[in-house]
Amino acid sequence: MNERRQMGALEAEVLELLQSAAPEALTPGHVLERLGGTLAYSTVVTVLTRMHDKGLLSRVKQGRAFAYSPVTDRHGLTARRMRQVLDADPDRQAVLARFVGDLTLGDEEILRGLLASGLPPRQD
């Protein structure tokens, strides 16, 4: 019996594969090969295209295909998700206050240290 992967699980697997291949961008054929070749080529292309459309991957033309690479590392993607959740709530102050209030003492110390260290100015 051929078990089907959930799309989210396949995206996570592809993302991990691309992050481990960094800085080399991979074509769908290379991704398919490194995943073990059990998927259809069109499935890999579809997943990569969707991930690109979501802003998770960048791509460059390589011959007749695109080569894909992650836009950031694992930590950057987590921070991005946190930012998206924050952006979804109109009361930023309440969300941030609750978030900081729910931090462990260790995490609060890390955050205080980061804020006190004089982070580089943002380029917004």
pLDDT score at 8:
83
Cross-strand partners of 69: 58
What contacts 65, CB < 8 A, 6 or more positions away? 27, 28, 29
pLDDT, residue 123, reads: 61
**Angle value at C-alpha 105, between 101 and 110, nearest 5 degrees:** 95
C-alpha distances in Å from residue 35, one per residue of 16, 44, 78, 103, 107:
11, 10, 24, 38, 36
Q: Mean pLDDT by 10-residue block, N- to C-terminus, for the chain (124 residues)?
A: 63 92 89 92 96 94 94 88 92 94 94 84 62
Q: What is the pTM of this model?
A: 0.71
Distances (CA, A) of 47 to 8, 9, 42: 10, 11, 9
